[in-house]
Structure 1
């Protein structure tokens, strides 16, 4: 007669001692960079995010801020954050499986509740939400979790190529539309003087109810058009890349200094010229919508994963040289990445939307960067203060409690007493 099977071990959230330091530092670093681009979407009409002439930089400082933001930040930091999300899928399912629990069941509960929180964020706070896309695409990405790093890299390259193909097809399709339909797309997506942009300004400066009506339009467009065409192949490909980077030891700091230096050099040497190519192409086209809306964004989309990998290597090298400073600055923010991401939305909508200070389209790029710097200073301070007393950030605690179907111990002294 066979021996009794081992008792199932209850799966539980990751404790502080189980955390991987480089992942927390990288998450925090990514959140700092994400805000540089998101602040434009909080402060200005949606068209300005992809069409700088829609809200043209005024003066040298404004142009320099836009240029640096585009070259070094646009799509690069959200790509890094997405890589870390892919790595997190592997990490969480590995730990669930090792504990003898259903890894897929746990993962789908995590994605379901992330979807719920993402939809609340998108419709009630800010339309630029990424959590909804992460939850939906994460439900697909999990099936790649057992693949080898080599297979994951190949899958990533294929998916990123498919994204380029989608951009090319849509871009070509737009050029073949009748002029009146092109004018409608330009009004909604490209021009600051169009009727849609004027309605957007009025709504976000208005009452919460007026904002809500516009935010619903933006969120529906993002979820029913943006996710299938702009995000699915790209985010899935980047999640696969993150899985490969985690399994190979890249994200966990297991490579040599020489290997990280080589990766940073290759990523910068290939990525920055691609970004420059896109800039030249768009400038030569005069940022004309039928070219720049899709064709003009293709080089930067190709460059983003290369630069995200380069940034990863540089951050890990910096962490080896300046460990305590990097830990103090980025790790607390990364440990509370979910809470800090939502906090950025709450703070910025209070600054720019009508239910707060109502500064939408009133703050130029210099003022926006000053707000970013203030939040950069505040995030490590409030994160360290919170984590000195609590085990999780508030959003992390809510998510974990929902996933594990039980309120998690929040106070640090409660967890210590329980361990004793």
Structure 2
């Protein structure tokens, strides 16, 4: 039997798109040194702290979880329709990889599509594992993430104002499109390594957990797996909130100088804290999705998340680069938080209207053709 699309899944995608936009916009609107350095204004310090504590990493994990859940949907749909799932799956991963390369070079060097495509290729080899084994695989990624985050913590301790030590680009994202593209080409190799260390293990953990959720009918009312998550909420909050606050204090330069050991521990701790808080968000969004009606336009935007994600970067380029509004390095973190929210909602409206007219988003149509759907 195929898994029916649930309203809750679209709500989660929609929320994840907003959270990802808020996290990504400063990296497109400010020089990297300004993003990593302590803001001068108090309101900007507060905004940066909130993003670090409650948004960064968390919504990428939710996105990854839904990606893994979607693999189960695709696999069962293939079985129901009688076509070879592996051909379409691998074509889909190849399509994501191509989109990611183009997105990283032409739009935003912090692209996650390449990482998703590569992690999705690895996920293929555990697709038939039981939900229990998949959750063990997901849990095994957390110590790996702690090791990777320890490495990033050491880099941060060495030079907290500019941890991107290998990025020596003379090009600016705030210039014309050609120079911005050269900046992205220069930055992307190191940025990708940074993303692998920051997100790689927990992205795959999210994939595996999402795949397990699909196999255990997580989104079905009264499912055992959802009930188990509900029981663990107090523990997840007790773990997630302090560890994420601790990480935000380190990343936000709140900890006094000389507390290097605590900085290192905070980076390692967020490898546990971020998934824990993401699980709380997951429960909250499912709960919300079952009780609140969201306008169909936004639901359609969540359903067509590839187009929504890429267009966020495209529109941000026009806002901040010289070939558009030239807003690069003009706003602090607090103002950019507002800009990101408006940007995310505007893109969702556009994609939602497009999907209502043409049945799916523009990039989803292309990916469907690539995968043979």
TM-score (norm 2): 0.88
Unaligned runs of 5+ in 1: 1-13, 176-181, 406-420
Matched-pair contact (CA < 8 Å) for 1:208–1:354:
yes
User: Is the alpha carbon distance of 1:187 and 1:228 closer, same or farther for their aligned partners in structure 2, counting shifts above 3 Å?
Assistant: closer
- Deviations 1:308-344 (Å, cap 9, x if unpaired)? 111111111112222x2x3547422211211110110
Matched-pair contact (CA < 8 Å) for 2:57–2:274:
yes
- Give the match's secondary structure for 1:374: helix
Counterpart of 2:322?
A: 354
- Give the match's secondary structure for 2:254: helix
User: Is the alpha carbon distance of 1:121 and 1:291 closer, same or farther for their aligned partners in structure 2, counting shifts above 3 Å?
Assistant: farther
User: Is the alpha carbon distance of 1:329 and 1:100 closer, same or farther for their aligned partners in structure 2, counting shifts above 3 Å?
Assistant: closer
Counterpart of 1:319?
A: 289
Residues of 2 paired with 1:131 and 1:160: CA distance?
A: 21
Pairwise CA RMSD of aligned residues? 3.1
Counterpart of 1:189?
A: 164
User: Is the alpha carbon distance of 1:76 and 1:195 closer, same or farther for their aligned partners in structure 2, counting shifts above 3 Å?
Assistant: closer
- Deviations 1:174-209 (Å, cap 9, x if unpaired)? 98xxxxxx67x975627xxx9948x45xx2222222
User: Is the alpha carbon distance of 1:280 and 1:70 closer, same or farther for their aligned partners in structure 2, counting shifts above 3 Å?
Assistant: closer
- Give the match's secondary structure for 1:334: helix
Residues of 2 paired with 1:114 and 1:218: CA distance?
A: 20
Alignment map for 1:286-325 (pairs within 5 Å): 286=257, 292=263, 296-322=266-292, 324=293
TM-score (norm 1): 0.78
Q: Which moved more, 1:301-310 or 1:279-288?
A: 279-288
Residues of 1 paired with 2:194 and 2:181: CA distance?
A: 19
Aligned with 1:268 (options 234, 237, 248): 237
Aligned with 2:15 (options 20, 29, 36): 29
Counterpart of 1:368?
A: 336
Unaligned runs of 5+ in 2: none
Could you say which structure has the greater relative contact order, defined with CA pairs below 8 angstroms and 6 or more residues apart? 2
Q: Which moved more, 1:283-292 or 1:117-126?
A: 283-292
Counterpart of 2:114?
A: 132
Residues of 2 paired with 1:29 and 1:195: CA distance?
A: 31
Residues of 1 paired with 2:258 and 2:217: CA distance?
A: 41
- Give the match's secondary structure for 1:189: coil
